[in-house]
Structure 1
Amino acid sequence: MDNLSHSLVGLAGGEFIHRCLPKEKDAEASRLRRRLLLFSCWFASNFPDLDLVLTPLLPEPLGYLLHHRGHTHTFLYALPQAVLAFITIWLLAPAMRLLLRESKAARLGIALSIALGLVLHIAMDYLNSYGIHPFHPFDSRWFYGDMVFIVEPMFWVTFGVPLVMMIPKPWLRLFLLVAIPGVLLYFTFKGFLLWASFAVLMLVGMLFVPLQQRAQKEGISALLAAFGFGAVFITAQALASWHARESIAHIRESRYPGAAMLDVALTPFPSNPFCWTFVSIESDEPAGVYRLRSGVLSLAPGTLPVAVCPAALLGASIDRNGSRDAIFLEHHEGNLRVLRELKDRNCHLQAWLRFARAPEISDGIASDMRFSFRSDDNFTTMKFADFSEKACPSHVPQWDFPRRDLLSERGK
């Protein structure tokens, strides 16, 4: 997820923990504990993304692809991260050390805040199609949620509005309450959001304003509602993702019968459970080929045909005279024998294949079709032919190959 979403959810988590704990001995200690828990949960909610400092260990783009969402996004390595986060806070916040020594509630609060922040980060990053491998080293497979866009305004509104309403300064509170719809309006004009999505986001935000006002200074009802609404939103997106997967399987089989569909990578449009981009991965072992088909799907073609789905995310307009339920935009057919030989012969490509879920490989260039319909603006693109004479890279994480089912004849 984007770091704004991580931050807002972390701040909401820290605030919630603070309000649930027993009060401190005086108002100053209570204010100090609140700042401590807000910072701790926010810090922990962003801490795993410090894995970006590891990207120089490998040449581009391998460093980012294999080390981001890597070891720091696993439950096992969350333990040393929690210790390191606590030590950092202890060193940077000397005024809070005395509070931690004297207050059992503060010690419990910081432990819960750091733990919650780390768990929330891993859980939120699971939601989209990029993937994580949370159970490494016991299970190094990638797990994909395929249910929430990586930049999701619904989280900004659901958690941002209650937090803004807690700000004591009226001018700052008003500024942010105006800024939130202003930013969303900008994205709507730019074609990233439907006007219907904008209206729903505004409605949700307006519901949280009086809810937080009624919760007053110590209440938790608005925060409970934020986490509850977030859970409902994620559940609805998960159900829509399942329906989208079934729909694509049916549509693909009716239009392109024959090959076995191995996987579908799905990405919803922001705050829109009806419009989805997809990449289907097929294998035709008897013919010796695999196929990737990318496109756009609408789960409500009667009222929201694919041509109405926001085009800004695609970088191209959609034919309004085409199919209403699904449009296939790109097609790639690869040779299975060549793919397997390249994997064994080029160790840089082999490392890249530890990330690629939809590997589009041709003319010495490899791209993951999940992230763009054009390889020239795809951050996963690698000219692996340039590495053919170079020494094999060190520090390659041993993640399982997402497309192990393509890399050997028996899928092992």
Structure 2
Amino acid sequence: MDNITHTLTAAALSQAGLNRKTRYATLALLIGSNLPDIDIVARLGGSAAYLNYHRGITHSILGVVTLGALLAATIYYLGRKASPPNKRSVPPLDGPWLLAICLISTAGHVLMDFTNAYGVRPFMPFSGRWYAWDIMFIFDPLLLAMLIVGLGLPAIFRLVSEEVGAQKTGFRRGAAFSLAGLVLLWGVRDFAHRRVLGMLDSHTYAEENPQRLGAFPSPANPFTWTGVVETASAYHLLPVSALDNDVDADRALVFHKAEDSPALDAAMKARTAVIFAGFARFLWRQAEETEDGFEVTLRDLRFYSPDEQRSGFTARIQLDKSLRVRSESFHFMGAPAR
């Protein structure tokens, strides 16, 4: 998920009651909810390096525990040296609760990232296998709106109460609303996801049976999905509504699989191609001969939009006529598919 959503979810957890458990609970939640994304430093090595390391060790079980413990130790150490709070309502610094809250924040970050199609690698460094729930878009406006409403309205009511001299309202109910909405949205999207997968699996595609299936969400509508079906000879992409009774397989956009060739074999040995192939779930390969040699294009069809005709997550390998790599690149937002 995006970092704004991570941050607002942490604020909701704090206001729901965790801020009453120990001093610095809110600070720990806000930092811990974004701490696993410290792997952003991999961007300094380029897009391919970032793809290779992002959501790796820092998003694993080992990473969650390590980062949470380090955060708790740091805040506890600095908190012990800080002056005591001025307000009596502030709870005392509690080491065990602080550790628990830091672990909740880092684990919550990974759980939210697990819900989208990008996925996480929870068993790093022992296994690099990706896991993804595939129910949430990486930026979900509906979830963000619920968090803003749940946290924002109580703040407005509190300002009004102060102005009219009434008793100040709290944030707890609004935070509970936001967190309940999050869980409800997950449930609705999971139901829709399972329904879409069932409809996709009930068809043949160009007289071939499905070998693998995927259903990937749209940014706003929890009932609108993009289906990806792999058969023996091609990938089929089609829009699917969970509110419909069936899918129209004839509307599928077909990506025929390329036959193995020396150019493809040579390109797949390039560093960028190796990284991308380890990440891509529905890898579609193209090889085109050019004046200088060959251009090999790799796409992960999870991130292809049939409506926008754009192909996110695209790698390109340029080969000379002797099949040596001339250049290699990877882009999260690919150019329009050709």
> Under TM normalisation by the shorter chain, which class is it?
0.7 to 0.9
State which of 240, 243, 255 in structure 2 corresponds to 1:300. Answer: 243
Report how many aligned residue pairs link the two structures. 308
Residues 201, 213 of structure 2: 8 Å contact kept: no
State which of 48, 57, 62 in structure 2 corresponds to 1:76. Answer: 62
Which residue is 1:10 aligned to?
Answer: 10
Please identify which structure carries the higher strand content.
2
- Structure 1 stretch 346-355 or stretch 103-112: which is displaced more? 103-112
Question: Structure 1 residues 112 and 345 mapped into 2: Cα distance closer, same or farther (>3 Å)?
Answer: closer
State which of 225, 229, 246 in structure 1 corresponds to 2:181. Answer: 229
Q: TM-score, normalised by structure 1?
A: 0.64
Superposition map of 1:307-318 within 5 A: none
Higher RCO (CA < 8 A, seq sep 6+): 1
Cα distance in structure 2, aligned partners of 1:119 and 1:277: 29
Residues 215, 222 of structure 1: 8 Å contact kept: no
Query: What's the CA shift for 1:95?
Result: 7.5
Residues 147, 237 of structure 1: 8 Å contact kept: yes
Question: Structure 1 residues 109 and 384 mapped into 2: Cα distance closer, same or farther (>3 Å)?
Answer: same
Query: What's the CA shift for 1:331?
Result: 2.2
SS in 1 for 2:155: coil
Cα distance in structure 2, aligned partners of 1:55 and 1:48: 14
Cα distance in structure 1, aligned partners of 2:262 and 2:230: 17
SS in 1 for 2:223: strand
Query: What's the CA shift for 1:130?
Result: 0.9
Superposition map of 1:131-210 within 5 A: 131-167=119-155, 170=159
Q: TM-score, normalised by structure 2?
A: 0.76
Question: Structure 1 residues 380 and 269 mapped into 2: Cα distance closer, same or farther (>3 Å)?
Answer: closer
The alignment-based identity, stated in percent, is: 21
Which residue is 2:226 aligned to?
Answer: 277
Question: Structure 1 residues 138 and 371 mapped into 2: Cα distance closer, same or farther (>3 Å)?
Answer: same
**Deviation by residue 1:301-353 (Cα, 9 ceiling, x = unmatched):** 37xx99xxxxxxxxxxxxxxxx5x88323423222577984576444322221
Query: What's the CA shift for 1:143?
Result: 0.8
Cα distance in structure 2, aligned partners of 1:246 and 1:129: 18
State which of 200, 210, 222 in structure 2 corresponds to 1:248. Answer: 200
Which residue is 2:44 aligned to?
Answer: 56
Residues 272, 315 of structure 2: 8 Å contact kept: no
Q: Is 1:44 aligned to 2:32, yes or no?
A: yes
Question: Structure 1 residues 223 and 103 mapped into 2: Cα distance closer, same or farther (>3 Å)?
Answer: closer
Q: Is there any run of 5+ residues in structure 1 with no aligned partner, and where?
A: 23-32, 174-212, 285-289, 307-322, 394-412
Question: Structure 1 residues 342 and 295 mapped into 2: Cα distance closer, same or farther (>3 Å)?
Answer: farther
Cα distance in structure 2, aligned partners of 1:146 and 1:336: 30
**Deviation by residue 1:220-245 (Cα, 9 ceiling, x = unmatched):** 44433432332122012111111111
Cα distance in structure 1, aligned partners of 2:47 and 2:319: 13
Residues 17, 112 of structure 1: 8 Å contact kept: no
Cα distance in structure 2, aligned partners of 1:152 and 1:111: 30
Cα distance in structure 2, aligned partners of 1:72 and 1:357: 21
Question: Structure 1 residues 161 and 170 mapped into 2: Cα distance closer, same or farther (>3 Å)?
Answer: same
Cα distance in structure 2, aligned partners of 1:358 and 1:97: 55
Question: Structure 1 residues 160 and 335 mapped into 2: Cα distance closer, same or farther (>3 Å)?
Answer: same
Please identify which structure carries the higher helix content.
1
Q: Is there any run of 5+ residues in structure 2 with no aligned partner, and where?
A: 288-295, 329-338
Q: Is 1:257 aligned to 2:197, yes or no?
A: no
Residues 19, 220 of structure 1: 8 Å contact kept: no
SS in 2 for 1:367: strand
SS in 2 for 1:349: helix
Cα distance in structure 2, aligned partners of 1:326 and 1:46: 43
Which residue is 1:355 aligned to?
Answer: 279
**Deviation by residue 1:65-95 (Cα, 9 ceiling, x = unmatched):** 2212121111111122124434664688787
Which residue is 1:334 aligned to?
Answer: 258
Cα distance in structure 1, aligned partners of 2:324 and 2:44: 20
What value does the CA root-mean-square deviation take over the aligned residues? 3.8
- Structure 1 stretch 146-155 or stretch 116-125: which is displaced more? 146-155
